[in-house]
Amino acid sequence: MKMVITGHTWGIGKALYDSFKSAEWEVVGLSRSNGYDIDADFDRVVEAAIGADLFINNAYRDKQQTKLVNALKNKVKKMIVMGSVSRHYPELIHTDYVQDKQELAEACRLISIDPAGIDILHLDLSFIEQPSSNNDPTAFTSDYVIKFDEILNAVDFWMTNPKIRQMEFRWKLTPFVFNQLKAAFPTLDPSRVTF
Amino acid sequence: MLKIGITGTTRGLGQALHDHFVNKGHHVTAFNRDSDMSAAVGCDLFINNAYGIQMSILNQLYASVGKMIVMGSIVTDFPDVEMPDYTYEKTKLEERVLELNLPNILLLKLSSTAYNDSQIVINAIEYWLANPLVNVISFRATGAPNR
């Protein structure tokens, strides 16, 4: 079985890459570091993913994740798509990122209701734990983080229950983010935010 | 041992979940539309399953049980489908859960495949109990759901 993943050198991408590798899958990682930039090298990324049993659409850059969903929706057997819970709060978080993740989720939903669509696991993620080697002072901080294992368990759930072809998991926003939002938007209705 | 309440245990998925948790050694109480719901106050887990009384139970109990699982449906992912009563009720229920946005409620959106395979639903519930930072688990259909 062959798995292809974008953004495999760091964070949850690396954890997934290592996990499938240790389960004796043939794994192919595509990252800027080995010459597969999902923007500049888009066509080559698509080419490398065609025919995979599983494609993990992990790396984020602008509209590229959605473009990959559409380019590969009938060229791989299954796909895991890393989305963001922030897409549920577009009126609170006005960024291109949120809009991109909304478009990504809609592309997944359309495939999930298409009788000919491939199997898709769509994850609305919140803050994910950082590698201990991460010294980036600009990295997000948070009250809690999703542990890699929690995401690996969700993936495992979907992989081991193949009758459920289409699935979506949605994580909660954190209290830290909630408080940041409240500071930025004093009129925020707390019932709109999960924490 | 958990104190678990559940509705809709006379058949189907509710019955399977009831039997599963009894066999696991939990203290399980079945409720129906005529029950005094005050007896459910203080449950560690309430499975809000039976269609028709879900909204009223959600509103009565969300603040007085440890955790609640609300059985939603993937029919709400099909906005173009005309709205028969079932879809309408499930849409209202989902909107209410998302509006409440409480950390102890799981919205479990079932497809017909999941509905007919209680083991998959049990696995999803166990996943959530072990990974409580998730608050929506949605099974989805391929193609339009049966109506």
Quick one: pLDDT at residue B114? Answer: 78
Quick one: pLDDT at residue A105? Answer: 94
Comparison of pLDDT for B93 and A171, the residue scoring more: B93
What one-character-per-residue DSSP string does B44-65 give? SEEEE--TTSHHHHHHHHTTTS
B71-125 pLDDT, tens digit each: 999 888 776 776 788 889 999 999 898 777 777 899 999 988 777 789 999 999 9
Classify strands A166-171 and B134-140 as parallel, antiparallel or unpaired: antiparallel
Quick one: pLDDT at residue A194? Answer: 47
Quick one: pLDDT at residue B145? Answer: 45
Q: Cβ contact (<8 Å) for A115 and B142?
A: yes
Which residues does chain B have within 8 Å of residue A124's beta carbon, measured at their own beta carbons?
136
- Across chain B, mean pLDDT equals 89
Nearest CA in chain A to B107: A170
> ipTM of this model?
0.81
Distance from CA of B130 to the nearest CA of A (A): 9
A4-40 pLDDT, tens digit each: 999 999 999 999 999 999 999 999 999 999 999 999 9
Which residues does chain A have within 8 Å of residue B142's beta carbon, measured at their own beta carbons?
112-115, 117, 165-166
User: Taking the model in full, what pTM does it have?
Assistant: 0.86
Distance from CA of B33 to the nearest CA of A (A): 28
Nearest CA in chain B to A194: B101
Q: Is the pLDDT of residue A85 over 90?
A: no
Comparison of pLDDT for B139 and A52, the residue scoring more: A52
Query: Residue A188 in contact with residue B96, Cβ under 8 Å?
Result: no
Strand partners, A28: A4
Q: Give the residue from A63, A59, A57 showing the smallest Cα distance to A100.
A: A63
Average pLDDT over residues A80-109: 86
- Chain B residues with at least one Cβ partner in A under 8 Å: 77-78, 99-103, 109, 111, 113-114, 117, 120, 123-124, 127, 130-131, 133-144
Q: Which of A131-135, B39-43, B64-68, B133-137 is the least confident region?
A: A131-135
